[in-house]
Amino acid sequence: VLTSLVVCEISVLKSCSSGLSMFCSLCNIFSEKLTLPDADQHPEDFYVQKRLDSGGFSTIDLVSSRHGQEYFAVKRIKCFAEEDKTKALKEAKLHASLPQHENLLPCISFAYHPLAPAVENQNALGEVLLLLPRCKGRSLHCLLEGLKHTNSCLPPHEILRILAGIASGLQTLFSRNLAHRDIKPGNILFNLRNNPVLIDFGSVTTAAIHISSASEAAAFSDFVAENCTLPYRAPELFQITTGSVVTEKADLWSLGCLLFALCFYESPFDKISAMGDSIALAVTSGRIRFPDNRDKSRIPDEFIAFIRHMLTVDPEARPTIQEVLEFTSSWKQFDCANSGVSATNLPSLGAAQTA
């Protein structure tokens, strides 16, 4: 009888918009509450609805506003020592300071929350919270995995659209004398307008890193090992020595690996890792193998040539970010002209072709 009364009450609440808000507020009583500044930097309560992702020392939760009318994501970075807190706050401040750009996920606000000692907190001192816009539920990595398992593929105009978006976001970072250092499909989401957005700015450094001593070389090598994903890591990041300079061209190598993955589902070095061979040796020697059964109508020779250009061992021989954007622009026009697709109305991610 009690269950029937509750169901009946919920039905009544859902029957009007004001009732729905009341229903969401009642649900929020049972949700974890997080207090963060809103877009106007006024304190606001947000309520955790579900866990979206987790990895390492951070998690992503879907949260709702007090009345359930707006949804956001919150990145939660656990801090086990003051050093962790300093690093996480540095990431949050840098993220929040980035210029508004449709291909860079904005940080609306951030805050540090101390945590009471408890088993579930794993002795963490606190956590840094970043309030982020809600995106679609899957990363580019998940999209490519799904296409691979269903023997489907992205059409050329969609490959170019995604590459152009990420390149445009990178260009904005470069203009601020910054480099991302961890470009990969797992760090690309799609916003609610279906634009690709670059995420995870904990790996960001100044665009040019000058190594002037053995201790600096060792410290930067440790940074690379922790932050730069192996199958997308540039050759110069495997051999860091005194006197070397690492520039934003390392991101162009990673972007070349990303273009390869857009065409063939994975980095050019994933199979090498799976076979147990040395990725470092393959990368530094510039060995790039393309699938023998490539569909040339979908991945033309010019795409392959540009991937090779981006995956040049010598950083200075790689294209600039402007040249990448020019490549995507010229080929987008060609592809749309030959497929009858309007350049102003390119298909969304649902328009994957069957291979």
Say which residues have a Cβ less than 8 Å from residue 97's Cβ, sequence separation at least 6: none
Q: Rounded distance, CA 91 to CA 197, Å?
A: 17
Q: Rounded distance, CA 168 to CA 163, Å?
A: 8
Q: Rounded distance, CA 271 to CA 153, Å?
A: 19
Catalytic status, residue 40: no
Q: How far is CA 134 from CA 43, 109, 120, 138, in A?
A: 19, 14, 26, 11
**Contact criterion met (CB below 8 Å) for 83 and 54:** no
Q: Which of 61, 182, 200, 251 is catalytic?
A: 182
116 burial class (0-12, 13-18, 19+ CB within 10 angstroms)? exposed
Q: Rounded distance, CA 48 to CA 64, Å?
A: 7
- Give CA torsion, residues 184, 185, 186, 191, to 10 deg: 120
Phi, psi of 127 (to 5 degrees): -145, 145
- Residues with catalytic roles: 182
